[in-house]
C-alpha cells in the first residue's frame, strides 16, 4: 500500500512538473501595432493635452514606456524596411519611397530576411493587417514572401492615401469595395481592416501567433465617418478648411480630399486608432491570452503636415524639433510601449536608447527563434525584464534619408549629429547637438567640439553602405 501511494505521489509530482514545464516553454503571442505618421507627442502618456488616447495610455501604465526610442527613418517604406529586417537605413535594402506602376513600391528582394520569417520558422502563425508598402502581390517583397501567412489591407502605400479606396488585398486576392469609386464613399477601410484583425486573434487563440498591425491611421488624408469620434472634437477648435483633391469625377488615388475641420478630423482619427487598440486588448483579455501575450505600440516616423494636418497646434512632436522627413528628433523619435504581464513590471519607464532595428534580435531572444543572417540591432529583452545591468548599448545609431537633398544623422550617447544636403556635398559639415541639455536641437556645438565632430563624421561614413537603388547623388567616399 505504501509503495502504491509513493508511486502515485511521484506520478502526481511529475505531472505537475510537466504541466509547469510546458507552460514555461509556451511561446508568447506577439502583437505589434504600428501607427502611421503619429507624432512623439500625440499620445496622452507622452504629454498630449488635447487628443484623448485612454487605451494606449493604459497600455503604458500596464507595461513599460520608452522615452528614447527611434524609428527606422523619417518616412514610411524605409522605416518599415528597417523595422522588419533589423537593419538601419545605411544597410537595409529599401531606403526610400520608390513607387512602382500601376500599384506598389520597390519590393524587398529574395535575399532579404524579416523577423516574421524567423517567427514563422519557429512555429508562429503570422498575420499582417493594414498597410504594407514593401512589395506588390506577386513580387519577391509581397507579404506572403516575407513571413506572413495572412495579409489584409493596402498593399500599396500610395493607395492608402485614400480612406475610401476602390479595393484592398486579401493575400493575393483583390477585394473590390463596391460603391467606393473615388466618387462615392461607402466602405471606410480602417473599419474593414479592424474586423479582420480581431478575427485573426479569435481564429488563432489556441496556437502561438504574431500579429502585425501597421494601421494607416492617422496618415493623411484626413477622413472618417461622422461618428462618435468626430463628434468628440467637431466643435472644440477654431478651424481653417483645407482644399484638396476631392472625391469625384476628377479624383486621383494620390490626392488628399478637402476637409472642413482638419483639426477635429485629425484628433478623431487618433482617438479612433486608440479605440482600435483598445478593442485588440479587450479581445486578448476576453480570450484569456493576456498573461502570455506581448503587445507593442509604436509609430513609423514623426508627425506629418499633409492634407490639412496641424502638428504645431497639437504639439505633435512633443516640443522636439522637426516633423516627418526630418532627421531631427521630431522626425525620428517615436513612442514605444511594451506590455507583457508575465514579465514586465507595470508602470515602468526606460531611457534606454533603442531603435527599430533592435526589434529583430529582441524577438529572437524572446522566442528562441533562429538567429538572423545579419542585424544592426541589439536585443532589449534585458530592459524589458528590468535587468538593466545586463543591457548592451549601441556604439551609435544611424539614419539616412534620400529626399530633400539627402540627409544623414547619427546619435552617440548624448551627442547627435545631422548632415544636410548630402547629395551636393557628401562630406560636408555637420550640426552637433548635446541632447542631454538641448533635446530641441537649438544650439549647434560643432565649432567648440572638433574631436566629437571628427568621430561623428567617421560614423557617418562607416554606417553608409552604397545602395544602387537609393544612392545619394554622389556616393560618400570612405
* Cβ-contact 46, 275 below 8 angstroms: no
Residue with cell 496618415: 219
Q: What is the pTM of this model?
A: 0.94
Bridge partner list, 358: none
64 closest CA partner among 341, 465, 424: 341
Query: How many other CB atoms are there within 10 angstroms of residue 392's CB atom?
Result: 11
> Does the structure show a pLDDT above 50 at 14?
no
Sketch out the chain's domains with CATH numbers. Answer: 28-394 (3.40.720.10), 398-463 (3.30.1120.10)
| Banded pLDDT at 25 (limits 50, 70, 90) | low
- Going 413 to 417 to 418 to 424, the CA torsion angle's sign is negative
For the segment 124-150, what is each residue's pLDDT rounded down to a tens digit? 999 999 999 999 999 999 999 999 999
113 closest CA partner among 143, 85, 90: 85
Rounded distance between C-alpha atoms, residue 337 and residue 383, angstroms: 12
For the segment 205-263, what is each residue's pLDDT rounded down to a tens digit? 999 999 999 999 999 999 999 999 999 999 999 999 999 999 999 999 988 999 999 99
> Does the structure show a pLDDT above 70 at 156?
yes
For the segment 175-215, what is each residue's pLDDT rounded down to a tens digit? 999 999 999 999 999 999 999 999 999 999 999 999 999 99
Task: List Cβ neighbours of 284 (8 Å cut-off, separation of 6 or more).
Answer: 29, 31, 201, 290, 293, 295
Query: How many other CB atoms are there within 10 angstroms of residue 323's CB atom?
Result: 23
356 closest CA partner among 150, 75, 110, 123: 75
CA dihedral 356, 357, 361, 367 (to 10 degrees): 40
Q: How far is CA 66 from the centre of its chain?
A: 14
Rounded distance between C-alpha atoms, residue 138 and residue 96, angstroms: 21
* Cβ-contact 199, 211 below 8 angstroms: no
For the segment 329-371, what is each residue's pLDDT rounded down to a tens digit? 999 999 999 999 989 999 999 999 999 999 999 999 999 999 9
For the segment 448-464, what is each residue's pLDDT rounded down to a tens digit? 999 999 999 999 999 99
Determine the pLDDT at residue 433.
99
Task: List Cβ neighbours of 407 (8 Å cut-off, separation of 6 or more).
Answer: 326, 327, 400, 401, 418, 419, 420, 422
- The CA-atom distances, in angstroms, between 266 and each of 62, 75, 281, 334 are 27, 19, 23, 18
| Banded pLDDT at 26 (limits 50, 70, 90) | confident
Rounded distance between C-alpha atoms, residue 240 and residue 268, angstroms: 16
For the segment 375-428, what is each residue's pLDDT rounded down to a tens digit? 999 999 999 999 999 999 999 999 999 999 999 999 999 999 999 999 999 999
* Cβ-contact 363, 96 below 8 angstroms: no
Amino acid at each position: 500500500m505504501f509503495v502504491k501511494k509513493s508511486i502515485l505521489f511521484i506520478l502526481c509530482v511529475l505531472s505537475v512538473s510537466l504541466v509547469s514545464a510546458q507552460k514555461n516553454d509556451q511561446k508568447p503571442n506577439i502583437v505589434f501595432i504600428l501607427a502611421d505618421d503619429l507624432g512623439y507627442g500625440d499620445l496622452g502618456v507622452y504629454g498630449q493635452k488635447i487628443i484623448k488616447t485612454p487605451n494606449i495610455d493604459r497600455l503604458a501604465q500596464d507595461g513599460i514606456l520608452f522615452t528614447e526610442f527611434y524609428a527606422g527613418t523619417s518616412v514610411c517604406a524605409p522605416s518599415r524596411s528597417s523595422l522588419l529586417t533589423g537593419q538601419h537605413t545605411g544597410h537595409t535594402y529599401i531606403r526610400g519611397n520608390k513607387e512602382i506602376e500601376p500599384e506598389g513600391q520597390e519590393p524587398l528582394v529574395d535575399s532579404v530576411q524579416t523577423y516574421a520569417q524567423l517567427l514563422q520558422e519557429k512555429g508562429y502563425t503570422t498575420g499582417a493587417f493594414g498597410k504594407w508598402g514593401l512589395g506588390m502581390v506577386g513580387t519577391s517583397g509581397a507579404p506572403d514572401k516575407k513571413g506572413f501567412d495572412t495579409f489584409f489591407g493596402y498593399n500599396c502605400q500610395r493607395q492608402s492615401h485614400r480612406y475610401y479606396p476602390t479595393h484592398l488585398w486579401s493575400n493575393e486576392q483583390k477585394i473590390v469595395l463596391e460603391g467606393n469609386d473615388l466618387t462615392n464613399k461607402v466602405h471606410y477601410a480602417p473599419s474593414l481592416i479592424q474586423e479582420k484583425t480581431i478575427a485573426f486573434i479569435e481564429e488563432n487563440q489556441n496556437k502561438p501567433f504574431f500579429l502585425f498591425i501597421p494601421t494607416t491611421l492617422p496618415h493623411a488624408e484626413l477622413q472618417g465617418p461622422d461618428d462618435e469620434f468626430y463628434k468628440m472634437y467637431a466643435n472644440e477648435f477654431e478651424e481653417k478648411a483645407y482644399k484638396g483633391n476631392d472625391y469625384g469625377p476628377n479624383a486621383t488615388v494620390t490626392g488628399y480630399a478637402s476637409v472642413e475641420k482638419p483639426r477635429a478630423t485629425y484628433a478623431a482619427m487618433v482617438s479612433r486608432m486608440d479605440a482600435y487598440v483598445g478593442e485588440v486588448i479587450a479581445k486578448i483579455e476576453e480570450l484569456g491570452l493576456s498573461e502570455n501575450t506581448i503587445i507593442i505600440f509604436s509609430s513609423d516616423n514623426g508627425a506629418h503636415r499633409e492634407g490639412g494636418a496641424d502638428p504645431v497646434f497639437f504639439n505633435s512632436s512633443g516640443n522636439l524639433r522637426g516633423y516627418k522627413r526630418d532627421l531631427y528628433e521630431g522626425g525620428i523619435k517615436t513612442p514605444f510601449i511594451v506590455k507583457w504581464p508575465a514579465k514586465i513590471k507595470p508602470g515602468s519607464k526606460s531611457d534606454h536608447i533603442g531603435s527599430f532595428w533592435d526589434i529583430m534580435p529582441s524577438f529572437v531572444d524572446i522566442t528562441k527563434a533562429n538567429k538572423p543572417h545579419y542585424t544592426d540591432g541589439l536585443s532589449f529583452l534585458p530592459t524589458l525584464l528590468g535587468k538593466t545591468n545586463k543591457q548592451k548599448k549601441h556604439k551609435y545609431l544611424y539614419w539616412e534619408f534620400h529626399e530633400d537633398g539627402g540627409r544623414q544623422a547619427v546619435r552617440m550617447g548624448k551627442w547627435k549629429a545631422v548632415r544636410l544636403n548630402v547629395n551636393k556635398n557628401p562630406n560636408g559639415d555637420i550640426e552637433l547637438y548635446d541632447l542631454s541639455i538641448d533635446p530641441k536641437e537649438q544650439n549647434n556645438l560643432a565649432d567648440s567640439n572638433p574631436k566629437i565632430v571628427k568621430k561623428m563624421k567617421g560614423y557617418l561614413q562607416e554606417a553608409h553602405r552604397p545602395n544602387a537603388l537609393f544612392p545619394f547623388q554622389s556616393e560618400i567616399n570612405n
